[in-house]
Amino acid sequence: MRYLTATLPTALAAVYLILATAPAFAETQAEQEANAQADAEERAKRAEQEKEDRAKAPPPAIPGAVSSGEAAPASKNAAEMSPNDALFDAINRGDGAAARDAMNRGAQLDSKNVLGQTPIDAAIEANRNDITFLLLSLRGSVATAGPPRQGSMTAAAMHASSRGRHPMLHATTVAAHLAPKPNPGTPNPSVGFNGF
């Protein structure tokens, strides 16, 4: 009995302490849960806003024209290679800037690598979308190694016409010279309006 009377005040003090701190602990836990809920809602709102912003933003470039990653380092100096070899090397490494440089140095789109592929074929096979778009956009604006087409410009004439002009204006000028001349046709009044 003596043991009970001695431990009873200690036990009551412990119970009182638990009962006194329980509401404070419950409030703290409730506050933490409320804060966590508010943070989660804020993150969800931010994510939704970012998603809407991405949907509204224009694409960074023509789909597929963006580089797929970092280019591998060059094993040779591009100046030591022929323009065609430099172009195929750039395609293999995935280096769009080096491919553009090789085209500017005079690489031919109808050249073939050791596998018999043209640069466009090699770029497509290697899944180099940015280089493929570059080469496709230059198809009609660069001279080929074959016989010149009637009405086409020589490389010297292209270079002379591009001096002091913007590169895109140059490509447009070259494309205009290489485009086939339209056939206006022969009027036939019996078929209808304006004879065409």
Q: CB–CB of 70/95 below 8 Å?
A: no
In this structure, what token pair is assigned to residue 135?
Answer: 């080469």
Measured CA angle at 136 (ends 130, 137), to 5 deg: 90
What pLDDT digit, counting tens, does each position of 74-91 carry? 778 878 889 999 999 999
Cα→Cα distances 109→17, 86, 148, Å:
87, 12, 14
What pLDDT digit, counting tens, does each position of 108-127 carry? 999 999 999 999 999 999 98
Q: Give me the DSSP letters along 68-137.
A: -SPPPPPSS-GGGS-HHHHHHHHHHHT-HHHHHHHHHHT--TT---TTS--HHHHHHHTT-HHHHHHHHH
Q: Is the pTM of this model over 0.85?
A: no
What pLDDT digit, counting tens, does each position of 29-41 carry? 778 888 999 999 9
DSSP state at residue 180: P
Q: What is the pLDDT of residue 148?
A: 44
Residue 151: pLDDT band by 50, 70, 90 thresholds? very low
